[in-house]
Every structure is written in C-alpha cells, then in structure tokens.
Amino acid sequence: MCFPLALFPVSQPPLISIFGSLIHRSSPIWPVVSHIFPACSTGGKADLRSGEMASSGQLREGKSQDRFDYLQALVTEFQDTDSQEAKEQVLANLANFAYDPSNYQYLRQLQVIDLFLDMLTEDNERFVEFGIGGLCNLCLDKENKEYILQNNGAQAVLDCLSSPNEDIVLSAITTLIYLMTPLSRKEITAIPVVECMLRFSMSKNKRLSNLATLFLEDFCSPEAVEKAQNLQNHTALGIPLPKE
C-alpha cells in the first residue's frame, strides 16, 4: 500500500500539486524534493517574482543562519505582498521545505505550522492545498505532531475531507494517518470519519480508494467499521466524494 507525496512544483506558474508519485510504506515516508526554488534577491528578501533560483540542496548545505534567514524571508514575503499568486508561491515553497527535518526547528520558530493551520480555513483553494501539504510533510516529527494536535489540528484536517479538491482530500487522509496517536485515535477514527472513509473506499479513483481502505484496515476497529456500514444511509460529515 502506498502514501501520496505532498510535493508542489514552484518554478513555473500555474502551481499544480503532484500526487502521481507514490512511495511504499517500507520506504522513508517524507518526500525527497528535487524541484527548484526561488532564491533570495539582493538585499536578503525573498522575491518570488525574480528570475534567480536556488536548489533545495544548496539550502541544505548553507549555514544554519542562512537557512533561517531564507525561510524568514519567505514568511516576510507572504506577510508583505498583496499578490495572491506570490502568496501561493511562498506557501508552495514552505510546504516543500517542510519535508526536510533540518528545517523543522526554524519552521517552528517562524510559526509556519500556525500559518499552515490558518490556511486550512481560507477560501483560496490553493492556500488550503499548500497548507495541508505542508502539515502533511511536517507532522512526521513528534514535536510538530504534538503541536498540531494541541492546536486543534486534527479537527482542522478532518474539515478538509469535505473539499471537492482530490489532492486536498488525499493530503488530509495522509495527514490524519500521521497524526494518529493513542490520544488522538478516538477523534480521528470517530464513526462519522469511518463512514466517510467507507464512502471514499468506493471511489473510482484508485489513489483515493486505496488510501481510504488503508485507513480503515490499519487504524479502525472491525466494530467501528461494522457500525459505520450500518449507517450508510446517512451522510458522512456532509462530505461528497471529490470530483473525479
């Protein structure tokens, strides 16, 4: 069984999420990003509309302060710009950089987890897509996971299951799997959620049906599944199947 990767191309607009690549569960779960990222312009501010580029490898090889300054420049760009396209580009960058454990400390310090959580309630679908993708990449880390759960992150992610955007739903299910703990399991595998996963498991989209089936088989008790099956005439969280 496979998990989708939360990877976003950011070198050329329009920004389109990539969920076509899958990794096996026996492999390292976080994605390896090989895309090109906009570099900081002269003066230290991340100008996402410039033609200068830096690879993620170059960022990894930089000094800790350079890494922090670069990520801080991205956050500042998001806060300062009025351009929706530039904000989307920044979020895509941050979501990609969130895959790298070397960045976790700086992303926490810059409150990027809060930024991603805030994006989940935005009307802009791409904000939601990049926000849930960033959380998906971050929540493998124990400290990040605890922070997300302590800040009502599980419910925020559950709300994303109602999105008509298939990539958002895939990221949401994967994030819920990563957020599973003995304490969070009750909320994440509540009967309405199980019923929702049963409906997703019947989707004609194989990526969605496979991931929902994995959720049901690996994290839900047979009793919960049976109870949810008996409620199939009800609407699961008001959640329609994503558009295919």
Closest CA relative to residue 159, chosen from 239, 91, 213: 239
**Beta bridge partner(s), residue 7:** 18
Q: How many angstroms separate the CA atoms of 119 and 92, rounded?
A: 12
- Report CA torsion sign: 228, 233, 239, 244: positive
Q: Residue 174 pLDDT > 50, yes or no?
A: yes
What residues pair up with 4 in beta bridges, in sequence order? 22
Contact 11, 49 (CB under 8 A): no
At residue 110, the pLDDT reads 97
Say whether pLDDT at 232 is over 80. no
CA distances from 139 to 72, 172, 214, 222 (A): 20, 12, 19, 27
Residue 194 pLDDT > 90: yes
pLDDT, position 240: 56
pLDDT of res. 218: 96
What is the C-alpha R_g of the chain? 18
Q: Under a CB-based contact definition with an 8 Å cutoff, are residues 197 and 216 in contact?
A: yes
Residue from 12, 102, 9, 2 nearest 49 by CA: 12
What's residue 105's pLDDT?
95
Q: What is the pLDDT of residues 122-169, one digit of tens each?
A: 999 999 999 999 999 999 999 999 999 999 999 999 999 999 999 999
Beta bridge mates, 40:
46
Alpha-carbon distances, residue 34 vs 22, 37, 97, 102, 223 (angstroms) = 15, 9, 11, 16, 43
Residue 204 has pLDDT above 60, yes or no: yes
| Confidence tier at 64 by pLDDT (50, 70, 90) | confident
Residue 70, C-beta contacts closer than 8 angstroms, at least 6 positions apart: 39, 40, 46, 59, 62
pLDDT classification of 70: cutoffs 50, 70, 90: very high
Which amino acid belongs to residue 145? K
Torsion region of 118: left, alpha or beta (phi above 0 gives left; psi -120 to 50 gives alpha): alpha
Residue 203, classed as helix, strand or coil, is coil
Look at residue 69 and give its three-state secondary structure: helix
Q: Which residues pair with 46 in a beta bridge?
A: 40
Q: How confident is the model at residue 58 (pLDDT cuts 50, 70, 90)?
A: low
Residue 241: pLDDT band (50, 70, 90) is low
- Looking at residues 199-208, what average pLDDT do you find? 94
Check if the beta carbon of residue 39 is closer than 8 Å to that of residue 52. yes
Residue 127 tokens read as 């904000």
Residue 5 has pLDDT above 90, yes or no: no
Average pLDDT over the chain, rounded to an integer: 79
Structure tokens at 202: 């019947």
pTM, two decimal places? 0.74
